[in-house]
Amino acid sequence: MNSRCCSRPACKQPPVYTLTYVYRDSTAVLGPLAAYVEPHCYDLCAAHADRLTAPRGWDVVRLPAGSGEEAGVAEAADDLEALANAVREAAVPRTRAEPVGQGVEVGRRGHLRVLRSGPPD
């Protein structure tokens, strides 16, 4: 017997999808039911997964639920985790460039800095 239920309040349907968020990329990933419960993921039934919307400016990545076989579910959960990790990795800046609009520090007084604008590029 499956003790997991849809994460939506008052819904007692069995979950078939797991929803996770990548806040840094403003992305919601809806994939096959995870093999185990994660603290920051949400299990959704088919009805709630179909009606899922994201806030304006967010992307939704939907992965197929699969056949539901135990081996397929575990494999799909690994794929979902790999996809979420790839999205997180893609969001990490490759180089630590000086932020645009920042000048060159020429002095300090306590926690305050005196900046001189750098030459235009």
70: exposed, middle or buried (Cβ count in 10 Å: 0-12, 13-18, 19+): exposed
> Could you tell me how many residues make up the chain?
121
| Cα angle 74-90-92, degrees, rounded to a multiple of 5 | 120
Confidence class for position 3, pLDDT limits 50, 70, 90: confident
Percent of the chain past pLDDT 70, that is, above it, reads 66
Asked if 31 contacts 18 with a C-beta cutoff of 8 angstroms, the reply is yes
Rounded to an integer, the average pLDDT of 39-54 is: 92
Higher pLDDT, 35 or 114: 35
Higher pLDDT, 99 or 107: 107
On the CB side of 85, CA atoms within 13 Å amount to: 6
Give me the pLDDT at residue 99, please: 54
Residue 53 has pLDDT above 80, yes or no: yes
Give me the pLDDT at residue 52, please: 92
> Which is it for the CA torsion 23, 21, 64, 59, positive or negative?
negative
